[in-house]
Structure 1
């Protein structure tokens, strides 16, 4: 009887541990708040962004920046689901779709945490953190964090208003 009880206890522990682990891996719903078409200003010129809804284990999006009525930079985003949670891959392009990164390279950011309407990612080199924050239903902000002392200091990088 003791062997049966010990085996049942062990199997219960393994089941609940596996279930808790499976439930603890966040999915792309943590960035669903960025979906939409957004516009703002950056360095005196217009900036536009758009992100799709999560589907097929991904979210795609872009940012385009304009200076002097000409494109100055494009950013292409792919949020992808992994076994450990969402990651973000970002590629930057100059006008003419000239890649800033090497052909096979992209900046990669790993999911850290989420709160209501706010999701935090950290770049693979651990030197930059990005928060995607929906401050109000029509106000979306991307904040950039850099290490300072023993914590992180965040500043607004891009501020967008929803396009109707």
Structure 2
């Protein structure tokens, strides 16, 4: 899948259990609102690839929750992401764009990496290839499905609240 090949997250750990889901052919996203995922808001950090991964998520406002991500390794930014979870058609979608350390975009100008909602639970949101789980008030886990030509693996990001 094109969207997952562009996604370059750096792993904290590789999981063997299935944590990410996909929509079936022709299946629509379930009804959901930003209130269902408002628990994501906050400033989160975790170690990744010898550096520090950081995400800052806003509270819901104006039909979206925005976020920024950066990976800092060897005291230098490796890359950034900017994105949001947005309310669309009685559901939500996670969209993002990648940027290098000099803010040059990886995706084409009008392209985003999109993760449609598959399933929503009280403390877990399953987007296509991307799952976010509230472990406690001070910890969230994010699993990302990374695909290459020959394999696919889920990568875990274990974040703590700052």
TM interval, shorter chain, is 0.7 to 0.9
Q: What is the aligned partner in structure 1 of residue 66 from structure 2?
A: 60
Within the alignment, does 1:159 sit opposite 2:158 as a pair? Answer: yes
Q: Which position in structure 1 is the counterpart of 2:94?
A: 88
Report if aligned partners of 2:146, 2:153 keep a CA contact under 8 Å in 1. Answer: yes
* Equivalence for 1:138: 138
Post-superposition shift, 1:55? 1.3
TM-score, normalised relative to structure 1: 0.73
Q: Specify the SS of the correspondent of 1:74.
A: strand
Taking the aligned partners of 2:146 and 2:121, their CA distance within structure 1 comes to 20
Which structure 2 segments of 5+ residues have no match?
1-29
Q: Which runs of 5+ in 1 are unaligned?
A: 1-23, 123-128
Bigger share in helix = 1
Q: Please list, as runs of the form range in 1=range in 2, the aligned pairs for 1:48-127 lying within 5 A after superposition.
A: 48-122=54-128
C-alpha root-mean-square deviation of aligned residues, in Å? 1.8
Number of matched residues?
129
**TM-score of the superposition, structure 2-length normalised?**
0.74
Aligned to 2:36: 30
State the 1:39 CA deviation: 1.1
2:64–2:87: 8 Å Cα contact kept in structure 1?
yes
Cα distance between partner residues in 2 of 1:38 and 1:29: 19
Deviations 1:120-143 (A, max 9, x none): 111xxxxxx110111121111111
Deviations 1:65-106 (A, max 9, x none): 001100001011111111141011110000110101111111
Higher relative contact order (CA 8 A, sep 6+): 2
Deviation (angstroms), 1:145:
3.5
